[in-house]
Amino acid sequence: MIGKIKDFLGFDIKEEKYKLSHDDTFGMISDEKKPDKWVFSTCGYCGVGCGLYIGVKDGKAVYTKGNPKHFVNKGTLCPKGLSEHQMINSPHRIPSPMIRKNGELQDVSWDEAFTKVSNEFKRIAREHGPQAVSVIGTGQFLTEEFYTLGKFVQLGLKTNNYDGNTTLCMASAVMGYKQSLGSDGPTSSYEDFEHADTIFLVGANIADNHPILTLHINKNPNKKVIVIDPRASKTSQMADLFVPIKPRTDLALYNGLAYIVMEQGWEDEGYIKANTNGYKELRKHLQDYPPQEVANITGIDVKTLYELAREFVSSKKVITGWTMGINQSFMGTDTVSAIINLHLLTGHIGREGTGPFSITGQCNAMGTRETGFTSSLPGYRNYGDEEALKEYAKIVNVPEEIIPRERGYKYAEIIDAIDRGEIKALWITATNPLVSFVNQDKLRKTLAKLDLLVVQDAFMGDTAQIADVIFAAATWGEKEGVYTNSERRCNKANKAVEPLGNSKGDFDIILEFSKYFEGVNEMLFPNWSEPRDAFNEWRKVSKGQLCDYSGMTYELIEELGGIQWPCNEEHPKGTKRLYSPDIPFRTADKKAKLLCLEWHPMAEPISPEFPVILNTGRTVEQWHTRTKTRAIDILDNLAPEAWVDISPKDAKKLKVKSGDRMSLSSPRGRVDDVVVRVTESVREGTVFVPFHFNEQLVNTLTSESFCPKSGEPNFKQTAIQLHSSEVPEGIHLKEEESSGAIAHHKVVYEGVTHKEKEILKSL
Amino acid sequence: MQENMSTPLENFINYKADTNMQCGNYSIDIPPLKEGEQYRFHFDAVACVGCRCCEVACNEQNNNPADIKWRRVGEMEGGEFPAFTQLLNSMSCNHCIDPECLIGCPTESYIKIAETGIVVHDDDTCIGCQYCTWNCPYGVPVFHEERNIVTKCHMCHERLDVGESPACVQACPAGAIEIEVVNVKEWLECDIDEQANMPFLPDARITNSTTRYTLPDDLPEQMKEMDEHILKPAHKELPLVFMTVLTQISLGGFLALFLGDFMSLFGFENTNWIMALLVMIPAAIGLPLSALHLGRPFLAMTAMKNIKTSWLSREALALGLFTGLMSVVVASYFFNISILLRLILEAVTLSIGIYGIYAQSMIYRIRARPSWNRITTNFKFFGVAYIGVFLLAFISSVSSIHEAIIPLTTLGMLGALAQLFFSYEDIRTLDAKENEYQLQRTKRLLNENFKKVKVIRFVTLIIGGVLLPLLALVFVSASSITAASVILFLAMLITFSSELFDRFLFYTTVVPLGMAGGFFVGKQRG
């Protein structure tokens, strides 16, 4: 009472809480949050891989500060990184393992959770074969956890129906690199943005998604930035030239540019001869992509096409950075290869300031690509390569027979197999398909068909809420290991605080869980007790591979501020870029492949019923499905809900203005109550909605169209209708607006291709 | 835990990252200031990518909650797809050469540090009156509910003093925010008009802002702010609604009392202590009420500190004196001192009261708030005085000083008619060209959000201020004094509520100058 009166009269201005005081390391900082210690670590959000320190006070994370000595971020951090310590203390954390009993998730002991899940997995394997158990992983684990999980799933649970959410973001880059260069592996360094004469950013909105990369671009004094994107995103504002391409036509553009380069004789003949195969076939193939036709497809006029091609050959150093605009497409893999084609033709690869450079979405998508046992055996060893298989079996001392000969189902195929009843149990780790996957209404029904859904997560996300069993995981800052970023830089992440409540690090969960399967722990993880054990095995496994970690130790990684692989005796401090003269391509004949790639119009183009193209993506304030960021006040304050970017012309047709509410529908469902943001940043007939928000779940609308090579969904283009309260029936399409397919470009089936698979007999 | 202890932790205060920019570094190199120079921000709108690192870094540095932002990022756009320009404005305090916050602050809680030119806020002496939040044309100072005071950006001066970078500068990955040195004279003589302005920001000359902006060369002529759709009423300021109206009524009443007292020299009936007491009461209730709007009411008396430059201090002092002197006047009636002495006392009291209401109206004549900064504000503030005249007319009617009823009622009615005219002018002049954007938005608030209140205001003013007094006059002529009393009482009540409604609209429909805001968060003020 007295306190209340005193407060009313204004005696207390909370000086103590808001005063600053001196910290030896970072200077004047908030006194209330002044840490007892700073712990060296790496950011756990996106693939940029920023170095930072976590401030710890009384066993709680209270500060995150950028590490100025780190190559990647030089002391800066994005809004998510700056507030990352708050994520650890989120109220949505799961402090204890849980089992659904009588319809309610209830806290249980680890033993009870492990016993239940192991018994179920064993029963299902007995009744339906081991491949009826399936795992969907993540890009958020530490490398040690990926390797441990992959090894356990493939060799312990003996199911190869294991894939990660990286298939929703980087799979096309993986497969593109593989089919063109013989192996996965991003070619360049962030540093190359500082040295390039011309920087192409294609389907990449780095201003929102990788803002720290702007640091490297801004350090380049003589750059020319060319942004190619269907949307005038924040990144388009960084451009010297912004090229507004029609949605999903990048492949045609790159084929067209290659055509012009060849037509004009601008190619680097010497480089092509020495380093590539398939030139003749490509030349023939590209006859289908003359400039005028490419102009029709892409909406980029012929003059600009020539200008872009000239830019590619007149500059000494050209780098192309791309992200989801390229990868998340039915033609994702081939579009990546089309970009690589152009770099090979012009010799812009393997030199400073050059390269076809995929920018990764998640903090350790690279880790799972290299070690994770999903798209390849560990160390980029291809499935089906008996030599590689034997080599791996020997290194880790396991019988050759238990190593899978082929890749199992990819993400979408797993979902499809659940729907068919072929897969009975699903173990999901650190990902939230009930926001991030396509066609949400169907997915929810599909997941309900499972006998057992296990979710291993640190946060009570949408998917965890429907789980039968939850493995309560520790999160970033509570565990130790390494992350590898977009530029192949392996960074150290350290444990700053103890895992919340009864939760455990993912490494510990997998290790202990493996003990519930007879003989598995002893065979796969002999004497393992800490992440370092996994890392040391990984160093041996990767030795001699392109992604060579053999020269790295935890200590050296910290000392050097991250190390770019390959790191071995030859390159003791790592390697800035791949495919320089001393690093040959990873194909059999050590030459890169120039590939003939076909552009396809959309299988579900706009129609009178669904006349608008929906584009989705991220915004800087939120992370993926918001399990980590929704409880961070300042991020939520800046971007509390989804919105729809709509052009003023469409807004006029729908009689809406900024701040109004609108609905969106597609053949698969409807999303209501999305706030309208009228902006000239989108073209008439297209809208943009961020995908983070489960309240306005935009993936209700997206379709089951997947890249047949990578399995990556075609998230970025969905034909939809818009409904305002004034014009509920939506936009009418004028006759001439509907596009007819060009004769020789065939529309093809884009859904899950259900291949009949020989299920490996349980061993 | 052991490996954590052995991690290589450097002292970053003296370490400079190799960025060729100020960003990333926890320490900063800026030349020492020479005579006539100060520090300022440079914001490069071409480099900014809109990542909002600065906003978050600022809050992390200062431990501020999410809704208290010293640095804000606004969004604007122009052009047509694909020739589209997005313009961002990351703004904290502009550390003005002539800061309005400092000039208006009644408690001298703003200090422009002589050595650096940084405008800092002294938390200890702040009473939370929030006058600075009205005065600053950029909406920089922000009231911190939890702390009961106003807070603002101080350019991390405690860091700068020891060679450390401000949090926003350190955090910006695009190097778009920098600290620079500016020569004040040169800036004011030439550069300010070219380099200090930004679409949607008020003219830098108002306060002589020091922030330098780098804008794109080809900025489209027509820009729109992305928070255009957010049009929220301003704070209701209920304590001030009552305080201002009540003190203004007292002034009117006291004027009538003085006139009556003066007329008694010519043989008319004497005014008396009850009248003096009753005209004092509104002010005596109203003045303390105003303390309720303060964050720290217990420091209310210190509001009189800055007589030199603050209209708020002047108002507080003058109206305090006015009310005090009115009580002396009551005593003088009671103790029957000589009429001449009393008249002199009353004249002095009245003059101070008039000055007090003038000062009160001048509080609102600020460039940051266009709908307030009009002559009709002064007129309407004095205009309310007619209710005081009705008050005295009513007292006359019940205390059988009947000869005063007709002149006082007539005078009051004329006052009400004048107020009607001022109120009409007040709305009409919203269509002015200067500050058109804000005034038109005020008009929208009046017509969209508060249409009913507006109609009630005018209807009650006509009924209570004109029709009922006319009726009262009719009854007085018919010698039905009791009926006239009742009617006058009603007229008083109705006009009183009418003026309360009007004052409510005054506060709540103001649309301040400011920066373009964010799509979701708007301007993050008010």
Fold of B15-225: Alpha-Beta Plaits (3.30.70)
The contacts found for A259-262 with CB under 8 angstroms, 24 or more apart, are A259/A286, A259/A287, A259/A289, A259/A290, A259/A291, A259/A294, A260/A291, A260/A305, A260/A306, A260/A309, A261/A309, A261/A312, A261/A313, A261/A342, A261/A345, A261/A346, A262/A286, A262/A345
Do B50 and A68 count as a contact with CB atoms less than 8 A apart? no
Task: Give the model confidence (pLDDT) of B202-234 as tens digits.
Answer: 999 999 999 999 999 999 999 999 999 999 999
For residue B129, is pLDDT > 90? yes
Distance from CA of A635 to the nearest CA of B (A): 8
In terms of Cβ atoms closer than 10 Å to its own Cβ (0-12, 13-18, 19+), residue A445 is exposed
A20 contact residues in B (CB cutoff 8 A): 62, 158
B399 — phi, psi (to 5°)?
-105, 25
Do A214 and B174 count as a contact with CB atoms less than 8 A apart? yes
Q: Which two tokens stand for residue A362?
A: 């998640």
Do A28 and B156 count as a contact with CB atoms less than 8 A apart? yes
Are A454 and A524 contained in the same domain? yes
Q: A37 — contact with chain B (CB < 8 Å)? A: yes
Distance from C-alpha of A708 to C-alpha of A418, rounded to nearest angstrom: 19
Are A492 and A394 contained in the same domain? yes
- Whether A306 is in a domain gets the answer yes
Number of domains in chain A: 4
Q: B9 — contact with chain A (CB < 8 Å)? A: yes
Distance from C-alpha of A335 to C-alpha of A176, rounded to nearest angstrom: 8
For residue A137, the 8-state DSSP code is E
Task: Give the model confidence (pLDDT) of B448-490 as tens digits.
Answer: 999 999 999 999 999 999 999 999 999 999 989 999 999 999 9
Rounded to the nearest 10°, the torsion over CA A696, A697, A702, A706 is 150
For residue B88, is pLDDT > 60? yes
Distance from C-alpha of A514 to C-alpha of B463, rounded to nearest angstrom: 86
Do B84 and A681 count as a contact with CB atoms less than 8 A apart? yes
Q: Which of B4, B57, B80 sits opposite A495 (nearest CB)?
A: B4
Q: A507, A529, A564 — which closes off a domain?
A: A564
B126 contact residues in A (CB cutoff 8 A): 13
A674 contact residues in B (CB cutoff 8 A): none
Q: Which of B19, B77, B520 sits opposite A680 (nearest CB)?
A: B77
Residue A2 has a pLDDT of: 78
Are A368 and A355 contained in the same domain? no
Do A7 and B21 count as a contact with CB atoms less than 8 A apart? no
Do A83 and B13 count as a contact with CB atoms less than 8 A apart? no
Q: What is the CATH number of domain B238-508?
A: 1.20.1630.10
Distance from CA of B520 to the nearest CA of A (A): 7
Smallest CA–CA distance from A494 into chain B, residue: B4
Residue A1 has a pLDDT of: 76
Average pLDDT over residues A646-654: 97
Q: A24 — contact with chain B (CB < 8 Å)? A: yes
Residue at token pair 């990333």: B24
Average pLDDT over residues B328-355: 94
Q: Which residue has the higher pLDDT, A737 or A258?
A: A258
Q: Which residues of B384-421 are buried (b: 16+ CB within 10 A; e: fewer)?
A: bbbbbbbbbbbbbbebebeebbbbbbebbbebbbbbbe
DSSP string, B76-118: EEEEETTEEEEEEEEES----SS-HHHHH-TT--EEE-TTT--
Q: Which two tokens stand for residue A693?
A: 């928000």
The contacts found for B348-351 with CB under 8 angstroms, 24 or more apart, are B349/B254, B349/B322, B349/B325, B350/B251, B350/B254, B350/B255, B350/B258
B74 contact residues in A (CB cutoff 8 A): none
Do A633 and B65 count as a contact with CB atoms less than 8 A apart? yes
Residue of A430, A470, A464, A471 whose CA lies nearest to A447: A464
DSSP string, A668-685: TEEEEEEEEEE-TTS-TT
- In chain A the first and final C-alpha atoms are separated, in Å, by 72
State the SS3 of A698-727: HHHCCCCCECCCCCCECCCCEEEEEEECCC
Do A495 and B86 count as a contact with CB atoms less than 8 A apart? no
Q: A548, A564, A580 — which closes off a domain?
A: A564
For residue B2, is pLDDT > 90? no
Kind plus residue range of the DSSP H or E element containing B279? helix B273-290
Are A13 and A140 contained in the same domain? no
- Whether A154 is in a domain gets the answer yes
Length of chain B: 526
Three-class DSSP category at A427: strand
Q: B61 — contact with chain A (CB < 8 Å)? A: yes
A32 contact residues in B (CB cutoff 8 A): 63
Q: ω before A566 within 30° of 0 (cis)? A: yes
A200 — phi, psi (to 5°)?
-95, 125
B173 contact residues in A (CB cutoff 8 A): 73, 76, 78, 211-212, 214-215, 218
Average pLDDT over residues B438-450: 97
Smallest CA–CA distance from A51 into chain B, residue: B24
Q: Which of A39, A40, A218 sits opposite B175 (nearest CB)?
A: A218
- Whether A583 is in a domain gets the answer no
Smallest CA–CA distance from A12 into chain B, residue: B147
CATH number at residue A52: 3.30.200.210
Distance from CA of B118 to the nearest CA of A (A): 17
Do B55 and A480 count as a contact with CB atoms less than 8 A apart? no
Residue A11's pLDDT band, with cuts at 50, 70 and 90, is: confident
| Predicted-complex ipTM score | 0.94
Query: Which of A74, A191, A492, A650 to substitute to test the interface with B, most B CBs within 10 Å?
Result: A74
Do B148 and A10 count as a contact with CB atoms less than 8 A apart? yes
Q: Map out the domains of chain B as residue ranges.
A: 15-225, 238-508
Q: B75 — contact with chain A (CB < 8 Å)? A: no
Smallest CA–CA distance from B23 into chain A, residue: A76
Residue A743 has a pLDDT of: 56
Distance from CA of A62 to the nearest CA of B (A): 10
Q: A78 — contact with chain B (CB < 8 Å)? A: yes
B154 contact residues in A (CB cutoff 8 A): none
Kind plus residue range of the DSSP H or E element containing A646? strand A643-646
- Whether A179 is in a domain gets the answer no
Chain A, chain B: beta-carbon pairs less than 8 Å apart: 242
CATH number at residue A522: 3.40.50.740
Do B170 and A75 count as a contact with CB atoms less than 8 A apart? yes
Are A696 and A643 contained in the same domain? yes
Answer yes or no: are the C-beta atoms of A105 and A467 closer than 8 Å. Answer: yes
Four-residue CA torsion sign, B111, B112, B114, B118? positive
Answer yes or no: are the C-beta atoms of A641 and A675 closer than 8 Å. Answer: yes
Distance from CA of A213 to the nearest CA of B (A): 8
Kind plus residue range of the DSSP H or E element containing A592? strand A592-593
B295 contact residues in A (CB cutoff 8 A): 10
Mean pLDDT of chain B: 94
Q: A16 — contact with chain B (CB < 8 Å)? A: no
Q: How many CA atoms lie within 13 A of A336 on its CB side?
A: 33
Distance from C-alpha of A222 to C-alpha of A239, rounded to nearest angstrom: 13
Task: Give the model confidence (pLDDT) of A652-708 as tens digits.
Answer: 999 999 999 999 999 999 999 999 999 999 999 999 999 999 999 999 999 999 999
Are A156 and A200 contained in the same domain? no
Residue of A414, A434, A427, A518 whose CA lies nearest to A469: A427
Rounded to the nearest 10°, the torsion over CA A398, A404, A405, A407 is -150
Q: Which residue has the higher pLDDT, B288 or A761?
A: B288
Do A620 and B1 count as a contact with CB atoms less than 8 A apart? no
Q: Which two tokens stand for residue A27?
A: 């200077």
Are A456 and A537 contained in the same domain? yes
Are A412 and A489 contained in the same domain? yes
Lowest mean pLDDT among A281-285, A680-684, A692-696, A742-746: A742-746
DSSP string, B307-322: TTT-HHHHHHHHHHHH
Are A228 and A245 contained in the same domain? yes
For residue A760, is pLDDT > 70? no
Q: Which two tokens stand for residue B228?
A: 């255009």
Q: Which residue has the higher pLDDT, A375 or A289?
A: A289
For residue B524, is pLDDT > 70? yes
Q: Which of A244, A658, A684 sits opposite B229 (nearest CB)?
A: A658
Distance from CA of A606 to the nearest CA of B (A): 20
Are A458 and A331 contained in the same domain? no
Structural domain including A551 reads 98-164+364-564
Q: A524, A542, A564 — which closes off a domain?
A: A564
- List all residues of chain B from 147 to 186 with a beta carbon under 8 Å from chain A: 147-149, 151, 156, 158-159, 162, 164, 170-175
Q: A83 — contact with chain B (CB < 8 Å)? A: yes
Do B86 and A237 count as a contact with CB atoms less than 8 A apart? yes
Q: Which of A32, A77, A214 sits opposite B49 (nearest CB)?
A: A214
Distance from C-alpha of A716 to C-alpha of A331, rounded to nearest angstrom: 12
Q: A3 — contact with chain B (CB < 8 Å)? A: no
Q: How many CA atoms lie within 13 A of B130 on its CB side?
A: 21
Q: Which of A33, A76, A218 sits opposite B53 (nearest CB)?
A: A76
Q: Which of B13, B25, B520 sits opposite A640 (nearest CB)?
A: B520
- Whether A49 is in a domain gets the answer yes
Average pLDDT over residues A158-163: 95
Q: A57 — contact with chain B (CB < 8 Å)? A: no
Q: What's CA B357's distance to the chain center, in Å?
A: 15
Are A373 and A353 contained in the same domain? no
- Whether A333 is in a domain gets the answer yes
Are A432 and A324 contained in the same domain? no
Residue A172's pLDDT band, with cuts at 50, 70 and 90, is: very high
Helices (H), A129-249: 143-151, 171-181, 191-195, 206-209, 213-218
Q: A532 — contact with chain B (CB < 8 Å)? A: no
A212 contact residues in B (CB cutoff 8 A): 173
Distance from C-alpha of A179 to C-alpha of A747, rounded to nearest angstrom: 23
Q: ω before B82 within 30° of 0 (cis)? A: yes
Residue B4's pLDDT band, with cuts at 50, 70 and 90, is: very low
For chain A, what is the largest distance between any 2 Cα atoms, rounded to a whole number of angstroms?
A: 88
Answer yes or no: are the C-beta atoms of A335 and A250 closer than 8 Å. Answer: yes
Mean pLDDT of chain A: 94
Distance from CA of A325 to the nearest CA of B (A): 18
